[in-house]
Structure 1
Amino acid sequence: MKRILLSLALASITLTGCSNEESPSLETFPLSEVRLLDSPFKHAQDKNIEYILAMNPDRLLAPYLKDAGLEPKADNYGNWENSGLDGHIGGHYLTALSLAWAATGNQEIKQRLDYMLDELKRAQDKNGNGYLGGIPAGKAMWQELAQGNIRSDLFTLNEKWVPLYNIHKIYAGLRDAYLYADSQQALAMLVALSDWGALLVESLTDEQVQQILKSEHGGLNEIYADVAEITGEQRYLTVAKRLSHRTILEPLKQQQDALTGLHANTQIPKVIGYKRVGDLAGDKQWQDAAAYFWNQVVEHRTVAIGGNSVREHFHPADDFAPMIEDVEGPETCNTYNMLKLTRMLYLSEPDTRYVHYYERALYNHILSSQNPDTGGLVYFTPMRPNHYRMYSQPQAAMWCCVGSGIENHSKYGEMIYAHRGDELFVNLFIPSTLDWKEKGLQISQKNHIPDTERTVLTVTGSGDFSLKLRYPVWVKEGLLSLTVNGEVFSVEQAPGSYITIERHWKDGDRVEVHLPMHPQAEQLPDQSDYYALTYGPVVLAAKTDPISGEQLDYFSDDSRMGHVASGPMCPQEMTPTFISDDRDFVRGLQRLPGDELRFAAPASLKVVGTQTVSSDSDLELIPFHRVHESRYTVYWPHTTKRKLAEKQKQREAKDRAQLALAQQTIDKVAPGEQQPEADHFFAGVGSEAGVHRGRHWRHASDWFSYQLKDPGNEAQTLRITYYGLDSNRRFHILANGVEIAEVSLDGSHGDDFFEVDYPVPEAVFKQSRDGVIELKFVAEKNAVAGAIYGVRLLREGENNLESADTHSG
C-alpha cells in the first residue's frame, strides 16, 4: 500500500537534499493499517459504504463514455451531473471506493472500483490521446484552449461550467486508486491523462495559463506535484508550478490576507497545491504561504464547528453577522479541503494546534454532515439560530458536497496515529486498532468519548518505542491523569503538548488516560455577542421546534437549489438568549442522567421572545453531530439585564425587515457569486465579475442573463441593486425578451448602494415556459451593462420601494 504522502523524495524533484543520515520524517499510517472500532465514526463509515454501493456506477460512467463516443449503459444522473458538471461525481467516486477499500477491505467495494476503472479505461482508449473526461462537448473546448482562445470567468471557461475543476476530480480519483488500492492500471491512466494535460498548456504563455486559472480549477497543481513524486519526473513539477494561481499565491507569500469576498473552496485546493509544490521544491515561501493561509482561515474566519464561509464566500473577518443571518452557512467541501491542508501542515510540523482544529472539524462538521439513518450528505450547515439542513439521496442531489462527502466518512483513520522513527503519536481519541507492521505491534484504543472521559490503549506484541499522547487543550492543566498497567504515571506536560512514555512495551500492556472535560463558551471570531458551547472535543447544540405543527422536508430533490434549506426563517426573537452581567454562561450547567451526553440549558439561557413554543426549561444541549432532521441552534445571543430591552428591540426591527423581504422573494441571484449564478444558468458574452466594498457584482460589454424561477407566475416586481458612483452604464433589461427597463447610470447616487424596483409587465408571463423568466442585461453600443449587485424577483407585498424612473436607474 502506498502512503498518501509518498516517501520517494527523489533527488530529481526535490531541492531539499535529504540524505539517509537525516532524522526520519513524520508520517501517518496507511488506512489499511487502521481499523475503526464501534463508535459514531465506525457507524458513519459503514453507512457511507451502504450509500456508495447504492449509487449506480453506470450512471456515473455515462458522461465519460458519451464524451468518448461510446454507448453508455445507463443515463446520466440528474442535477449537476446532467447540467454542465457532468462526470464530476465519477471522479470523487473513484476516490471514495479507494478509501473505503483501504479502510475496510470490503471486497464488494474493490469489485466496484475495478469495474469503474475498466470502463473508464475503455473511454480513455477510445479518445486515443490520454484524455478522459465527462464535460459535455469538452473536446472542442480543450482544442480552443490549446490554441490560446481563452474566455475565462469565475466559474466558466469558454462557456463551460468550471471544466478544470471537473476534470481535477478524475485526476484525483485515478491517483487515489493507485495510492490507496495499489492499482497499476489507475497509475498508467493517470500518467496518460497527465501527459495530455501537460501538452495542452505546453504552447501557452504563462500569462495565458494564469488567464485560464481565473476559473475554478480544483487542486490541479497538487495533482501534478503528486505525479512528479510518483514518477520521479521533474517536468510534472514544472507543470504544477505553472498551474499555481499567482493572484492568490502572491499576497499569501507577502503574509497578506486578501481573502474577503473570494469563493472559499476555490482557494483552499490551490493552497494545498502551494504546500505540495513547496514541499517538493524545497521552497519555504510557498510553504509559509500555505501556513499563513491556514492560520488566517482557522484563527479568524472559522466558527466553532470548524467550518467557514457564508454562501460559499469568505465574508469580512471582522463581521460575522452574515454567518448568523444567512441560511447558507459553512460548506462541507471547505472543511473537507481544510482537513487535507491541516494534515499536510501537521506532517511538516507536529504542532497540536493542527490536531485540535482537525479534531474539532471532524467531530462537529464532517461527522455531523452525514444523516446517520440514511447516509444522506449535507451541503450547507447554517449557523442561523433555529434553521436546519438538507440531505442528499443516493439517486438524487449530485452536488459537490456529495462528491467530497462520500470520501469523508472513510478517512476517519487518517490522523488518529502518526509515527516518526520509534515514536508513536496518538492524536485522536477515536476507537480503533493500529497494525504497526514495521514494529510487529498492534495497538487498540477503546472509549466512548464524549459520553465518557476515559480512553484505554492496549499493546499486543513487544518492543521499544516512545508513546506520545496528545494532551488536548480541552482538558485543564493538571487534570489529565494516566496509568500504565495500573500504576500512576506522573504528567508534567501542559495542554497543547504531547506526553511521552518511553519503555520496553510488553504484550498486554495497558495505558488508561483520564480526560476530564468541562463546558466552555466560545465567542464568534469577530467578538460579537453570539456564543457557542463546547464540551471536550464537541460543540453542543439544541434541537428546537419553534413553529408548532411545522412539516419540513429535510431531503433534497434534483432541483438546482435543492441543497439550500429554503424553508421559513424563524425570527431571531425565538432564540433563547444568554442574559448575564458576566460571561460565565456555563456556570451551573448540569449533565442529565443517561449514558449519552446531555445537558439541561444553563440558568443564564432564557427565552425572552413571545412567539417561541418551547421554554428554556425544555432545552437540552447535546453534541451537534447527533442533531438531525430538526431545526437547531448552535450560536446563542448574549446581553446584560440592563441592555436586554434595547437589544431585543434592535434585533426585532432588523429581523422583521429581513423576514418580510424573504417572504416576499420568489427567487434571487447574487451576481458574481459562483453557485447562485450557476444555479440560475448564467450565460453571457463579454462579461466580467468582481468584488467592491465586500459585495459581488457582474457587468458586461455585451450581455449576460439568468433564469429565474416563478412557477406560480406571481412576480410583480424586479428589484436590482446598483452602486451609486457607477457611470457610463447604459443598458436594457429584458425578461423573456420583453423590455422592462432602459437604464442609464451616471454616478449621481453617491458612494453607496441603492435599489430600484421595476414592475414586471403581463407580457412577460405570456412568454414564460415552465415558470422560468429569462432575465437579460444588454449593453448599448460603447457602454456597459451593469454593474449589477443584486437581483430579486418579488411577489406582491408591502416591502416594495416606490416605483423609480426606469430611465434614470
Structure 2
Amino acid sequence: MKKLLLSLTLSSIALAGCTSKEPATMETFPLSDVRLLESPFKHAQDTNIEYILAMDPDRLLAPYLKEAGLEPKAENYGNWENSGLDGHIGGHYLTALSLAWAATGNDEAKQRLDYMLDELKRAQDKSGDGYLSGVPGGKAMWNELVEGDIRADLFTLNDKWVPLYNIHKIYAGLRDAYIYADSQQALDMLIALSDWGAAVIGKLSDEQVQQILKSEHGGLNEVYADVAEITGEEKYLDIARQLSHREILNPLEQRQDKLTGLHANTQIPKVIGYKRVGDLTHDDQWQDAAEYFWNEVVENRTVAIGGNSVREHFHDTDDFSSMIEDVEGPETCNTYNMLKLTRLLYLSEPDARYMRYYERALYNHILSSQNPDTGGLVYFTPMRPSHYRMYSKPEDAMWCCVGSGIENHSKYGEMIYAHRGDELFVNLFIPSTLDWEEKGIQLHQENQIPDAENTTLTVTGNSKFTLKLRYPAWVTAGEIEVAINGKAVVVNAHPGSYITIDRHWKDGDRVDVQLPMHTETEQLPDGSDYFALTYGPVVLAAKTQPFANEHLDYFADDSRMGHIASGPMCPQEQMPMFVSEDLGFVEQIQRLPGEKLALSTPASLKTGNGNNNLQLIPFFRLHEARYTIYWPYSTPQELAKKQRIKEEEDRARLALAQQTIDKVAPGEQQPEADHFFAGAATEAGVHRGRHWRHSSDWFSYQLKDPNKEAETLRITYYGQDNGRHFRILANNVEIAQVKLEGNRGDDFYSVDYPVPATVLKQADNGVIELKFVAGKDSVAGGIYGVRLMRATGEPENG
C-alpha cells in the first residue's frame, strides 16, 4: 500500500522549490495497519461492506460503457444515475471497494475492484485519448468548452448536470484504487485521464477556467495536487492551481466569511484543494485560508452532531431558525468533506481541537447516518424536533450521500492513531489494533465507550517511544486517570490537549485510562433557546412519537426527492420542552441501569401527547423513528409567551405545508436539480438571504402533481424589482402575464395564480412543466419561490 498519500505527508515530492520530507512530519497510519475490534464502528464497517457488495457493478459501469460507445452488460441504476448524473456513484464505488480492501482485507471487495477497473479500462481505451466519464454526451460538451462555448451555472455546465463534479468522482476513485489497493492499472488510468483533462484546460484562458468553475466541480484541484504528489510532475500542480476557484478563495485569504447563502458542499471540496495546493507549494496564504474556513464553519455554522447547512446551503450565522424549522437539515456529504479537511489541518498542526470536532462528527453524524440493520444511508439529518430520516436501499437510491456514504464506514481507522518521529498519538478511543511496523510495536485498544468510561491500551513488542494520549475536552479537568501496569501516572495536561508518556515500552505493558463522562448542554450556535445534550463524545437523543398509530416509511423510493423525509411535521408547541429557572436541570439527568448507555429525563422536561417516559440514548443508536436532538428551553415565567409564539408561527407553517403539493427553491442547487431545471441565458444568486433565479430568455421546472389536484401556483417576488415583464406557462398554457414595477417596498411578497383545468388535463404522469419566459428586452424574474398548492390561502409575506 502506498504511504505516499495515505499519510498525506507534506512536501514529500520533489516539486520545484520543494525538498524531501522532513523526518518529523506528522503522519497517519495506512488503513491496512489498523484493524477495528468489536464496537459500533466495526459493525458499521462490516454492514457497509455487505451493502456495497449487494450493488451490481455492471449497472454502475453502464454509463461509462455507453459514453465510450460500448454495449453495457446491464442498464443504469435509476434515480440520479439515469437522470443526468450518470456514473457519479461508479467513482465513489472504486473508492469504497479500495477502502474496504485496505481496512479489512476482504477478498471479494478486491475482486470486485479489479473487475471494475478492467471494464473502465475498456471504456477509456475506446475513447483513445484518456477520457473516461459517464456524463451523457460528455465528450461533445468538453469540445464545446474547448471552442469557447461556456454556459456555466451553479449546477449546470453547458446544460449538463454538474459534469465537473461528476468526473471528479472517477478521478478520485482511480486515485484511491492506487493508494489503498496498490493498483498500478488504476494509476496508469488516472495519469491518462489527468493528461486528457490537462489538455482541455490548456486550451482555455484563466478567465474561461474560472467561468467553468462557477459550476459545482467537487475536489478537482485536490485530485490534481494528489497526482502531482504521486508523479512528482509540477505540471499537474499548475492545473490544480488553475482549478482553484478564486471567487471563494479570495475572501478566505482576506479572512472574510462570505459563505452565507452558498451551496455548502460545493465549497468544502474546493477548500480541501486549497489546503493541498498550499501544502505542496508552501503557500502559507492558501493554508491559512483553509484554516480560516474550517474555523468559521466549525465554530459558527455547525450543530451538535458535527453537521452544517439547511437545504444544503449555509444560512446566516446569527439565525439558526431554519435549522429548527426545516426538515432538510445537515447533509452527510458536508461532514464527509469536513472530516477530510480536518485531517489535513491536523497533519499540519496536531492540535487536539481538530480531534474534538473529528470525534464529535464521527460518532454523531457519520456513524448515525447508516442504518445498522440494513446498511441504508442518510442524506439529510433533520434537527427539527420530532422529525425523522430516510434511508437508501442498494438498488433504489443513488444520491450523492450514498456515494460518500459507502466510503465513510471503511475509514474509521484512519485517524485513531498518528505518529511523528518517535511520538505515537492516540486520538480516538475506538477499539482497534495498530501495527507500527517501523517500531516493531503492536498496540491493542479495547473499550466499550460510550457504555463504559474507560479504555485500555496493551503493548506488544519492545521499543522506546513517546505516547501522546489525547485528553478529551469532555473530561473535566483533574478527573482523567492514567495507570501503567496498575501504577498511577501523574497527569500534567489539561482537557483539550495530549498527555505525554515517554518511556521504553516492554511487551505486555498495559495503559488503563479512566474517562469520566458527564451530561452537558450545548446551545444552538445563534444563542437561541434550543439545547442539545451530550454525554462524553456522544450527542443524546430521544424517540418522540407525537402521532398515535403512525406508520411512516423510512426507506426511500427511486424518486428524485426520495431522500427527503416529507411526512407530516409535528407542531412544535406540542413537543417536549425543558422548563426550569436555569440550566441546572442537566444535573438531574441520571444514568439508567443496564449495559448500554441510557439516561433518564428530569421532571423539568415537560412532555405530553404520547411523549411520556422518554429516555435519552446516543443518537447513533436511534433509527427508524421520530427523534429530538435540540430541545426548546424556557423559564417558567416565559413559558406561556413562548408557547403562544411557537403555536402562531408553526400553525401557519404547518398549514402551508399541508396545502403544498410540490415546491421549488429557485437558485438552490438540489431543489432545482430535483425538479429538472432547464433554461437559457439564466442566472441565480442571493439577495437579503433569499435565493433567486431570473433569465433574459426562459427557464423551467417540472412540478409533480400525481393526483392532479393543483388549484393554485404561488410565486414569490422581491418588492423593488422593476421594469420586468414575462409570461408564466404551465404545460404550454399561459397562466399569467407578469409586470414587476418595483412598487411593493423593500420586502418579499407572493402572488397566487389559478391553475386552469386544461393544465391538469395535459399533466402526463402528473407532471406540470412550469416555464418563465422573458418579454422582449426584459427579464423573467427574479423568482424567489415556487409553490404548487391544493387550495388558495392567504399569500405569505416573504
Q: TM-score range by the shorter chain?
A: over 0.9
Asked if 1:601 corresponds to 2:601, the answer is yes
Q: What pairs with 1:264-663 in structure 2 (closer than 5 Å)?
A: 264-607=264-607, 612-615=609-612, 618-663=613-658
Asked if 1:115 corresponds to 2:112, the answer is no
CA offsets 1:355-393 (integer angstroms, 9 cap, x no match):
000000000000000000000000000000000000000
| SS of alignment partner, residue 439 of structure 2 | coil
CA-CA distance at 1:574 after TM superposition:
2.2
CA-CA distance at 1:585 after TM superposition:
2.8
Task: Tell me the residue number matched to 2:668.
Answer: 673
Task: Tell me the residue number matched to 1:807.
Answer: none
CA offsets 1:81-109 (integer angstroms, 9 cap, x no match):
00000000000000000000000001111
| SS of alignment partner, residue 504 of structure 1 | strand
| SS of alignment partner, residue 652 of structure 2 | helix
Distance in 2 (CA, whole Å) between partners of 1:51 and 1:12 is: 41
Counterparts in 2 of 1:185 and 1:583: CA distance versus 1, 3 Å: same
Distance in 1 (CA, whole Å) between partners of 2:142 and 2:76 is: 22
Q: What pairs with 1:55-74 in structure 2 (closer than 5 Å)?
A: 55-74=55-74
| SS of alignment partner, residue 120 of structure 2 | helix
| SS of alignment partner, residue 584 of structure 1 | helix
Q: What pairs with 1:218-257 in structure 2 (closer than 5 Å)?
A: 218-257=218-257
* Residues 589, 603 of structure 1: 8 Å contact kept: no
* Residues 580, 635 of structure 2: 8 Å contact kept: yes
CA-CA distance at 1:71 after TM superposition:
0.4
| SS of alignment partner, residue 632 of structure 2 | strand
Task: Tell me the residue number matched to 2:15.
Answer: 13
CA-CA distance at 1:187 after TM superposition:
0.2
Counterparts in 2 of 1:8 and 1:756: CA distance versus 1, 3 Å: closer
CA offsets 1:548-571 (integer angstroms, 9 cap, x no match):
000000000100000000000000
Counterparts in 2 of 1:551 and 1:561: CA distance versus 1, 3 Å: same
| Candidates 684, 688, 691, aligned match of 1:689 | 684
Task: Tell me the residue number matched to 2:168.
Answer: 168
Task: Tell me the residue number matched to 1:81.
Answer: 81
Distance in 1 (CA, whole Å) between partners of 2:327 and 2:62 is: 34
CA offsets 1:766-806 (integer angstroms, 9 cap, x no match):
21100000000000010000000000000025x3449x9xx
| SS of alignment partner, residue 445 of structure 1 | strand
Task: Tell me the residue number matched to 1:210.
Answer: 210
* Residues 576, 611 of structure 2: 8 Å contact kept: no
Distance in 2 (CA, whole Å) between partners of 1:268 and 1:106 is: 31
* TM-score normalised over the length of structure 1: 0.97
Q: Which shows bigger deviation, 500-509 or 295-304?
A: 500-509
* Residues 6, 230 of structure 1: 8 Å contact kept: no
Task: Tell me the residue number matched to 2:723.
Answer: 728
CA offsets 1:134-190 (integer angstroms, 9 cap, x no match):
011111101001111100001000000000000000000000000000100000000
Asked if 1:91 corresponds to 2:61, the answer is no
* Residues 9, 25 of structure 2: 8 Å contact kept: no
Asked if 1:783 corresponds to 2:778, the answer is yes
Distance in 1 (CA, whole Å) between partners of 2:451 and 2:66 is: 51
* Residues 135, 163 of structure 2: 8 Å contact kept: yes
* TM-score normalised over the length of structure 2: 0.99
Letter in 2 for 1:318: D
Letter in 2 for 1:751: D
CA-CA distance at 1:509 after TM superposition:
0.4
Distance in 2 (CA, whole Å) between partners of 1:483 and 1:10 is: 38
CA-CA distance at 1:644 after TM superposition:
0.4
CA offsets 1:227-262 (integer angstroms, 9 cap, x no match):
001000011000000000000000000000000000
Give 5+ residue unaligned stretches, structure 2: none
* Residues 693, 784 of structure 2: 8 Å contact kept: yes
> Matched residues, percent identical?
75
* Residues 8, 230 of structure 1: 8 Å contact kept: no
CA offsets 1:11-36 (integer angstroms, 9 cap, x no match):
64264x4467x441000000000000
Task: Tell me the residue number matched to 2:748.
Answer: 753
CA-CA distance at 1:614 after TM superposition:
2.2
CA-CA distance at 1:10 after TM superposition:
5.4
Distance in 2 (CA, whole Å) between partners of 1:394 and 1:32 is: 26
CA offsets 1:647-696 (integer angstroms, 9 cap, x no match):
00000000000000000000000000000000000000110000000000
Distance in 1 (CA, whole Å) between partners of 2:64 and 2:423 is: 46
Moved over 3 A (4+): 5-12, 17-20
Distance in 2 (CA, whole Å) between partners of 1:602 and 1:293 is: 39
Distance in 1 (CA, whole Å) between partners of 2:393 and 2:216 is: 26
Q: Which shows bigger deviation, 780-789 or 572-581?
A: 572-581
| SS of alignment partner, residue 130 of structure 2 | coil
RMSD between superposed Cα atoms in Å: 1.1
Distance in 2 (CA, whole Å) between partners of 1:598 and 1:8 is: 43
Task: Tell me the residue number matched to 2:188.
Answer: 188
Asked if 1:152 corresponds to 2:147, the answer is no
Distance in 1 (CA, whole Å) between partners of 2:10 and 2:344 is: 16
CA-CA distance at 1:191 after TM superposition:
0.2
Counterparts in 2 of 1:11 and 1:659: CA distance versus 1, 3 Å: closer
Counterparts in 2 of 1:688 and 1:561: CA distance versus 1, 3 Å: same
